[in-house]
Amino acid sequence: MGNKRILDADSQFLSGPNSRGKEFLFVFKAFMQFIKGFRKLHFVGPCVTVFGSARFKEENPHYIKARQLGKELAELGFAVMTGGGPGIMEAANRGAHDVGGQSIGCTIKLPKEQSSNPYMNKIVNFDYFFVRKVLLTKYSYAFVVMPGGYGTLDELFETLTLIQTGILHNFPVVIMGKDYFKDILEMIQKMINEQTISVDDQHLVKITDDIDEAVQHIRNFIDKNYKVEYKASWILGER
């Protein structure tokens, strides 16, 4: 019932103009969601977000690879962040959890694939997709995109657009799954041929099936660019 109310609220907001009171209430709720996310994620350190399908089971090769990836990222000191659900998200969180690393989930209420995985030591629950996406981008220093569906592709191309337009700088995006994503890679080449993107845009992503290569690519970026550290304030209740 709670999920239905959230979805009804989103549908109502996106269906067109509402009363001034309802519009104000929506903005206030979104504002509070942002504040909650800022407070919980501000001190997670260099964070890598892993995207992928919620539908893969434990025995699936993509799940196994995502779990190993999460483990290796955590062993290098990275916080591993996902959408907090099952499948690839669970696997990456689980890998970090296996070695005592920071395992973070930014969850959202959905009518399907609702369950949160049990391998997180920090969870932020969101009601709105756009708030969640902003926070995932804001606190991530790299993305790893593994096989997934519409949501995964949305996150991949929105991130690439932010890099292409200069809003994000030198942000490493790794695609893992050459065979799964081969049609997407062909589409990128088609866009280059049709001059809808530039030749250099193909270099915005690192495409590999090798976990060590992916992790090293991310590590090189973090070593060069992650310098700022913030300390939590006990006065603000952040410790």
Rounded mean pLDDT of 4-31? 77
* Average pLDDT value over all residues in the chain: 88
- pLDDT for the residue numbered 113: 56
Give the pair of three-digit tokens for residue 160: 């690439």
Alpha-carbon distance of 157 to 48, in angstroms, equals 17
- Contact between residue 209 and residue 177 where contact means Cβ atoms under 8 Å apart: yes
- The whole-number pLDDT of residue 48 equals 95
C-alpha torsion sign, points 63, 66, 70, 75: positive
C-alpha 128/C-alpha 56 separation (Å) is: 24
Structure tokens at 231: 């300390």
pLDDT band for 228, please (50, 70, 90 cuts): very low
In this prediction, residue 1 has a pLDDT band, given cuts at 50, 70 and 90, of very low
Portion of the chain with pLDDT greater than 90, in percent: 67
Does the pTM of the predicted model rise above 0.85? Answer: yes
- Using the Cα atoms of residue 57, residue 70, residue 174 and residue 40 in order, give the sign of their dihedral: positive
Share of the chain above pLDDT 70, in %: 87
pLDDT in tens, 157-188: 999 999 999 998 878 999 999 999 999 999 99
Query: Is residue 166 within 8 Å of residue 160, measured between CB atoms?
Result: no
Which architecture does CATH list for 2-225? 3-Layer(aba) Sandwich (3.40)
Domains of the chain: which residue ranges?
A: 2-225
3-state secondary structure of 40: helix
At 97-106, the pLDDT tens digits run: 999 999 999 9
Confidence of residue 225 (pLDDT cuts 50, 70, 90): confident
